[in-house]
Amino acid sequence: MGCAHDIDRQLDRFLKEHCPDPALIRSAITRAQLWAVAEYLPDEMICRRGDRVRACWLVLSGQIEIRADDQTVAFRGAGELVGEPGLLHFLAGKTGARTADIKACGPVRLLCIDASFQQNLNDQEKVVWIQTLADVVNLKLEQATQGRSELEVQRGERVLFDAVPPSPARNVAAAHRKSATGPSGTPLDRARSREVLRASVHPPLNRSCQQHI
């Protein structure tokens, strides 16, 4: 009963977010019966790069990691669809191959939708299904673009911070430390220390500047 509830909840959530006609596609999935629930253990591979495209997956619970070129590309959780680009290739008449590794981060339950499901759709259902997959792809592209932009901003802020000259407060503190001792490191008397501090923080104007005051 819990399994059926998870399927209904996450499928409704996904279709509501991405599908222009949720009831139509929900009916098609129920009619075709070309889906199954799969469970994976932590670090178990769901698919590998180069594998033939056979399905896409809707995450029911848990989290999965997508990796390419030995780097983490993204994490996906409940209510998110994974592997949809392969299905778009399948619809275009191409066999297609996986371009990334997908593995479970912990215990994961997936709704596996067979690629042949698409062959059982009528023309109207097929159009809506393609629109649904395209919306998922576009959203992920937007997220990736935003992520890169935020990373560039963070890098820019770091470079800018490193390039900013010391603040006046830091100058005053440094000058205060300097005023406490003479060139040889010996302590100065209080009056002489104040003179050194004023000269460090407010250097005297040159003669040309004084003429304009």
Tens of pLDDT, residues 181-193: 555 555 545 555 5
Q: What is the pTM of this model?
A: 0.67
- 32-63 b/e (C-beta count within 10 Å ≥ 16 → b): bebbeeeebeeeeebbeeebebbbbbbbbbbe
Q: Output the average pLDDT for the chain.
A: 80
What is the per-residue pLDDT for 97? Answer: 87
Per-residue pLDDT for 2 more than 60?
Answer: no
Q: Which residue has the higher pLDDT, 80 or 145?
A: 80
Strands (E), 32-107: 35-40, 45-47, 55-61, 64-68, 71-76, 81-82, 101-104
Per-residue pLDDT for 70 more than 70?
Answer: yes
Identify the band that residue 212 occupies on the pLDDT scale cut at 50, 70 and 90.
Answer: very low
Task: Average the pLDDT over 33-56 and give the result.
Answer: 94
Identify the band that residue 122 occupies on the pLDDT scale cut at 50, 70 and 90.
Answer: very high
Residue 73 CB contacts under 8 Å (≥ 6 apart), including other chains: 66, 67, 100
What is the per-residue pLDDT for 166? Answer: 53
Residue 102: count other Cβ atoms within 10 Å of its Cβ: 24
Identify the band that residue 138 occupies on the pLDDT scale cut at 50, 70 and 90.
Answer: very high
